Amino acid sequence: MSTPATRPTSAQWPIAAAMLPFPASQDAPADTWVDHLAEVAYEGFTEVDLTDSWVQPGDLAPARLEELRDALVTVGLDPVALSAIRRSVIDPRTGDENLAYSHRTIDAAAALGVRVVSVGLHRPLLPAQREAFWFWTEEGPHDPTDPETWDRAVTRLRELGRHAAEVGVELSLEMYEDTLLGTAESAVRLVHDIGEANVGLNPDLGNLVRLHRPIEDFQAAVAACLPVSNYWHVKSYFRDEDRATGTYVALPAPMEMGAVSYRTAIRTAVESGFTGPFCVEHYGGDGLSVSARNARYIRRMLAVATGEARASVLAAAAAQR
């Protein structure tokens, strides 16, 4: 468990904005990258997650990678993390290609000064998901659960973890439904089986809260996952269940308003020793503005969880006596 001497203060804790709200910009001029990143910085962020739906650093030529580094310096953002999404290393069709891409991504991350690379086992959206208003309302691909598939995942993710360690980067495994990282029990087991000190979980439980089906208990999953987590994508959803009719509905929500209590979850995380960066995500509408609101909320909840809020209130009250 972390101690006050080893964990960041609530003000210092790295909270990154995901680049999900921005269009794919791989071939855009560097000035467009500056425009996008400046919007992030203007919302008060000092850290960013270089989500590869925006730019794929692992596929940039060296000169372009340097342009990306310069763009980050120009706007004053720290690229604390890089999330490679829908690039499963056990995809039955593109697993080998995704493994190679993940290695390139780790090298690019190290060149940019990134601290954490987040990867997952989720695959590209199916046609019905792409056509849906909210993609999570349609069922996506499922990972097989046979021992051979499990061993392949362990072997390949361990390989990535060892590469990441060699270049001074942590590897984080993003939870996602119907993959081998789709439940708390399976995700924690996978981290333990990989057995590398720099490999942890990204307990993106928002991916599970939004499902239009029964889900596991959110707080129990937080308690199980956070002790082995090193990065955390966070987002929330309004959720309603009518089990009598089998009706489940989920819509994106600011973290403080959604169906699950991040006040409780963040306290659990701090008590379990979590000191990794957060990344705020939001789908729909003005995702960046909601993400900025969520970042401010997280800082307040970190102050509560670390005892800073209590100390501040008591000091202020004492000063008035």
Q: Set out the domains of the chain in order of their start, with CATH numbers.
A: 15-320 (3.20.20.150)
pLDDT recorded at residue 1: 47
pLDDT recorded at residue 6: 85
Residue 297 has φ and ψ, to the nearest 5°, of: -60, -45
Other Cβ atoms closer than 10 A to 106: 25
pLDDT recorded at residue 16: 98
pLDDT recorded at residue 5: 60
pLDDT recorded at residue 141: 97
pLDDT recorded at residue 3: 61
Residue found under tokens 């057995």: 195
Q: Which residues of 33-68 are buried (b: 16+ CB within 10 A; e: fewer)?
A: bbebbeebbeeebbbbbbbbbbbbbbebeeebbebb
Q: Could you read off the pLDDT of 113-143 as tens digits, one per residue?
A: 999 999 999 999 999 999 999 999 999 999 9
Long-range pairs of 40-44 with CB within 8 A, sequence gap ≥ 24:
40/75, 40/77, 40/288, 41/75, 41/76, 41/77, 43/17, 43/288, 43/289, 43/291, 43/292, 44/292, 44/295, 44/296
pLDDT recorded at residue 2: 59
Per-residue pLDDT of the chain (321 residues; tens, 9 = 90+): 456 668 999 999 999 999 999 999 999 999 999 999 999 999 999 999 999 999 999 999 999 999 999 999 999 999 999 999 999 999 999 999 999 999 999 999 999 999 999 999 999 999 999 999 999 999 999 999 999 999 999 999 999 999 999 999 999 999 999 999 999 999 999 999 999 999 999 999 999 999 999 999 999 999 999 999 999 999 999 999 999 999 999 999 999 999 999 999 999 999 999 999 999 999 999 999 999 999 999 999 999 999 999 999 999 999 999
Residue found under tokens 């720099």: 198
pLDDT recorded at residue 17: 98
